[in-house]
Chain A
Amino acid sequence: MKSLIVFIPENFFIKYFVFNICPNCSTDASMPSGKGNRKYELLSSGRVRFRSPVSSKNEIIHLINNFKPASAAIRVLYGGNLFKDVAVYDNSTLSKLEKLIRLSPLDISAVIKLIEVINGISPATEIKLFFETAFFSELPAREQLYALDNNLMKMEIRRFGYNGLTHKAVIEKMRDKNRRAKKIISICLDPVPEVAAIINGKPVMISSGATPVEGIPGDTTCGELDPGIIILIEEKKKLGAETINEIITKKSGLSAIAGKRTSISDIFEDEENNKKASRIFKYKILLSCGSALAAMDGFDAIAFSGKYIDAAPKLASWLISELKRIPVKEFSPQVFYFYERVEEIIADYYTVQNSN
């Protein structure tokens, strides 16, 4: 058995999950965390305030001293074109991470600091970095590029997906269950939701953009927006880019439509009282799925995942009935629900790695 700590930096906190990894255990072995054939066991979880004023260095020191992990895994939101797979941390990794700061300033700076803290306490602990964007690093050029002259911005701008770890795990699980499902629409119902079209394990379309804001409206994010609107807001109200960013990331989305703080989960739980938000959300999902159908020339399955997976059955039922209006002869898509969270996906990775 080896212990693993998975860190998921958010912007205020770092979530942590301490696992025992037991790759050679029999799947009949009883695991306190339940869920049958998992080869890992969750020992502890929580979150520490990391960027916040009260120093959490001590909490991380305590964690590491207490559990003495052989490995530490850090979920990184953005790996850009530099990280196309899981990366073992070494000196070259640091300089690559620093190159990404311009494109993902909040996440990368927290990750670098966390690595510094872990290395300071326990240099022997192997650190691996798991990038959400890695799955989308080879997105076809026609999908990843915007119709912009990149020379103007002096930096490369392209689309990524930001739930790559989940989408990839979904595909692998589905492959186990149904080898014939080649074309999959993967819908991640997170506070910033995402739709991906995946053929034979490779993504060909993604609803997100250069940042997670683009695409489907989220709990508080605006989703797709006519660029002319931002120009108009700046022209008429002279708010400045920072204030407009606050609006489109924290004051928009389903909460703006509903007129109150809400989530995808809340919307589906009480559709009657959230008619407009529900209608708009479903509409955007339908349009995105239509794009996915064109991108893949059909589909075999739809998979749902994410924090708001509880909303998936209702959404799935509506979506399938809408798509069935397309007059296609044989149409019986599989619907798949994926309940694992990112930390479990990472722990799973270690069970496979260690057993090899």
Chain B
Amino acid sequence: MNIFVFNCGSSSLKYKMISMPSEKELFGGEVQRIASRTAKPSQIIHEADGGKEIFVESIKNHLEAFSEVMKIVEERGYAKPDIFAHRLVKGSKEIGKDALLDEASFAFLEDLKELAPIHNPPIIEVIKACKEKCPEVPQAIILDTSFHSTIPDYAYTYALPKKLCEELGIRKYGFHGISHQFVSEEAADYLNIPVEKFNAVSCHLGSGGASLCAIKEGKSIDNSMGFSPLQGLVMSTRCGNLDPAVLLKMLAYEEGDFLKVNKILNKKSGVLGLSGISSDIRDIIRAKDNDAKSEITFEIYLWRIKKYLGSYLALLGRVDAIIFTDTIGETVPLVRKLVCSDMDFFGIKLDEMKNRHAESYPCDVSPPESKIRIIVVKTNEELSIAKRAYQLLRHESLLAEKDYRS
């Protein structure tokens, strides 16, 4: 069965066609820097049969990205998918867990946009585009929040009036769950530790969003993002943690225009807001030696990760591994080095050579004397999504067979 996975990030679109149950990747790629204010333009990296092609295009939104991807797929005559599978950042009451979309659920798609107004809209648009292009192909949605359903109540509860929380569904949901789950399972496997005994801090550091996850015995017990993907680390254009009173002041100065304030915090803050030159931390790293603002931006970016790392290490006590993943976590050794530096108290040591030459994943960039392994894992959310979509389809087929028999 061929599963075509779409994974929309805030500024990227990853895609893969995976054959299940063999887990063989038929082709895949990523559209990067969609509508991003970075030094480099958007591009599509397409990989198939061991080769890689790069197309530099100006891509303004996710619909255009989808269109370009389908052009590439059609031009190369790949097999048609049996199902489209999409990563959804946050669900709703009607679509609260991994699910196959039926006609009824298509009606609720628009409501999903406002639950995660930065992330869900591009996913919804791509879902609709898939329906339009291939109406006969079923679609599945896999939720980012599912892995974090094990976060305990004392960690997901905000200290706000109970009635308000119940009315508005205010609690910590956590995000990047698909990735955190995948990389923790890969790391546990790599270290030969049964997942149910595995403790780790997973650092999903993407070019757009980023989060840390505390994993105890294979289960998520905290995540740096919260009710929305705005909380936590310094991200490309998102502010992360912020004094609520500052936000209220912004709201007052903007005469209650919460949409404007939301846009500032989601699109004009973070690395971009601090540096004033780019939202991509890689650009900042290149500039920091000659630009004071870039230097302090990089310091603040690292410092926030380090503090969360310390929090989760203290929370977990015994930790088997720190996992780095996604674009920055996998490809920027300097970030790994600096986050793990001056952490002798926790027994963390990093091997500089291994770290600099980490190319095949997963790999261990810590020396033997480090008390905690530092593992770099290439996240494969698409494979994780494909697996879950496959399970869903199988479950549905089994149910259908049962119905037929009875």
- A interface, CB within 8 angstroms of B: 141-143, 145-149, 152-153, 157, 159, 205, 209-211, 213-214, 217, 221-238, 240-242, 244-245, 247-248, 251-254, 256-257, 259, 276, 279-280, 283, 286-295, 297-299, 322-323, 325-328
Which of B300, B313, B344, B347 has the most A CB atoms < 10 Å from its CB? B300
Do A222 and B154 touch across chains, with their CB atoms under 8 A apart? no
* Chain B residues whose C-beta falls within 8 Å of the C-beta of A247 in the assembled complex: 160-161, 164
Question: How far apart are the CA atoms of A209 and B240 in the complex, in Å?
Answer: 13
Cα separation A228 to B173 with both chains bound (whole Å): 12
Residue in B172, B231, B240, B343 whose beta carbon sits within 8 Å of that of A297 in the complex: B343
In the complex, which residue of chain A has the Cβ closest to the Cβ of B115?
A232
Do A226 and B227 contact each other (CB < 8 Å), given the known contacts A153-B250, A209-B246, A276-B153?
A: yes
Say yes or no: A229 contacts B228, CB within 8 Å: yes
The reply to whether B240 and A326 form a contact with Cβ atoms under 8 Å apart is: no
Q: Are A223 and B159 in contact (CB under 8 A)?
A: yes
A294 touches B343 (CB 8 A): yes
CA distance A291 to B313 in the complex (A): 9
Q: Given A153-B253, A276-B154, A290 and B313 touching (CB < 8 A)?
A: yes
Which residues on B sit within 8 Å (CB–CB) of A224? 241
A148 touches B274 (CB 8 A): yes
Minimum CB–CB distance for B107 against chain A, Å = 22
Chain B residue at smallest Cβ distance from A210: B243
A148 & B312 in contact (Cβ 8 Å cutoff):
no
CB-defined A-B contacts under 8 Å, sample of 10:
A213-B244, A226-B172, A228-B226, A228-B227, A241-B249, A290-B311, A291-B307, A291-B310, A297-B344, A326-B313
Report chain B residues within 8 Å CB of A290: 310-315
- Nearest A-chain residue to B306, judged by Cβ: A294
B173 to chain A: closest residue by CB = A226
A227 adjacent to B318 (CB under 8 Å): no
Interface segment out of the listed B33-41, B120-128, B180-188, B258-266: B258-266
In the A-B complex, the 3 residue pairs with the closest CB atoms: A294-B310, A325-B317, A290-B314
Task: State in angstroms the CA–CA spacing of A325 and B245 once bound together.
Answer: 35
Check: B371 CB closer than 8 A to any chain A CB.
yes
Task: Verify if B6 is at the interface (C-beta below 8 Å from A).
Answer: no
- Of chain B, the residue at the smallest CB distance from A293 is B310
Tell me the interface secondary structure of chain A in the complex: helix
- Contacting pair B228 A226 (CB below 8 A): yes
Among B235, B247, B276, contact of A149 (Cβ-Cβ < 8 Å): B276
- Provided the pairs A227-B242, A228-B228, A279-B154 are in contact, do residues A251 and B273 lie with their beta carbons within 8 angstroms? no
The interface centre, meaning the residue of B247, B299, B309 with most chain A CB atoms within 10 A of its CB, is B247
Query: Which residues on A sit within 8 Å (CB–CB) of B318?
Result: 325, 327
In the complex, the chain A residue whose C-beta lies closest to that of B234 is A147
Interface residues of B (CB under 8 A from A): 153-155, 157-162, 164, 168, 170, 172, 225-231, 234-235, 238-253, 256, 258, 261-262, 264-265, 268-274, 276, 296, 299-304, 306-315, 317-318, 342-347, 371
With a cutoff of 8 Å between Cβ atoms, the chain A residues found around residue B299 in the complex are: 141-142
- Nearest-neighbour CB distance to chain B for A242, whole angstroms, equals 8
Pairwise interchain contact B307-A294, C-beta atoms closer than 8 A: yes
Chain B residues contacting A295 (CB-CB under 8 Å) are 306-307, 310
Knowing A153-B253, A327-B347, the reply to whether A146 touches B242 (Cβ < 8 A) is yes
CA distance A224 to B246 in the complex (A): 12
Which of chain A's residues have a CB closer than 8 A to the CB of B230? 226-228
Q: Are B303 and A143 interface neighbours, CB within 8 A?
A: yes
Is B170 a contact of A232 with CB atoms below 8 Å?
yes
- Whether the pair A257, B159 counts as a contact (CB closer than 8 A) is yes
Determine the distance from Cα of A224 to Cα of B240 in the docked complex, in whole angstroms: 11
Known: A230-B251, A323-B314. Is A293-B345 also a contact (CB below 8 A)?
Answer: yes
Residues of A within 8 A of B345 (CB): 293, 297-299, 326, 328
* B317 with A322: CB separation less than 8 A: yes
A230–B244 CB distance below 8 A? yes
Main secondary structure of the interface of B (DSSP, over half): helix
Q: How far is the CB of A224 from chain B (nearest CB, A)?
A: 7
Taken together as a complex, chains A and B put the C-alpha atoms of A210 and B243 apart, in Å, by 6
| Nearest CB in chain B: distance from A103 CB, A | 9
Residues of A with C-beta under 8 A to B310: 290-295
Q: Given A153-B253, A257-B157, A294-B313, A226–B274 Cβ distance below 8 Å?
A: no
Residues in A with CB closer than 8 Å to B245 are 209-211, 213-214, 245, 248
Given contacts A290-B310, A297-B343, contact A234 B264 (CB under 8 A): no
A283 touches B239 (CB 8 A): no
Question: Within 8 Å CB of B158, what residues of A?
Answer: 222, 225-226, 229
A225 touching B244, Cβ below 8 Å = yes
Smallest beta-carbon distance A322→chain B, Å: 7
Query: A214-B243, A241-B252 are contacts. A287–B311 as well, Cβ < 8 Å?
Result: yes
- Inter-chain contact A142/B296, CB cutoff 8 Å: yes
B239, A148: Cβ atoms closer than 8 Å:
yes
Contact A227:B160 (CB < 8 A) given known A234-B258, A241-B256, A327-B318: no
- Bound-state CA distance A295–B262 (Å) is 30
- A222's partner among B160, B251, B269, B315 (CB-CB below 8 A) is B160
Q: Tell me which residues across on chain A come within 8 A of B154, comparing CB atoms.
A: 276, 279-280, 283
B344 touches A298 (CB 8 A): yes
- Inter-chain CA distance A323–B315, complex, in Å, is 8
For B307, give its contact among A205, A254, A259 (CB under 8 Å). A205
Max count, chain B CB within 10 A of own CB: residue among A146, A280, A293: A146
The distance in angstroms between the C-alpha atoms of A98 and B304, with both chains bound, is 33
Besides A245-B248, A252-B161, 8 other A-B contacts (C-beta < 8 A): A213-B243, A214-B244, A251-B161, A289-B314, A297-B342, A298-B344, A299-B345, A328-B345
Q: For A148, give its contact among B242, B253, B344, B371 (CB under 8 Å).
A: B242
Contact B161 A256 (CB under 8 A): yes
Which B residue's beta carbon lies closest to that of A225? B244
Residue in B253, B270, B300, B346 whose CB lies within 8 Å of A142: B300
Nearest residue (CB) in A for B258 is A234
Cβ contact within 8 Å between B160 and A248: yes
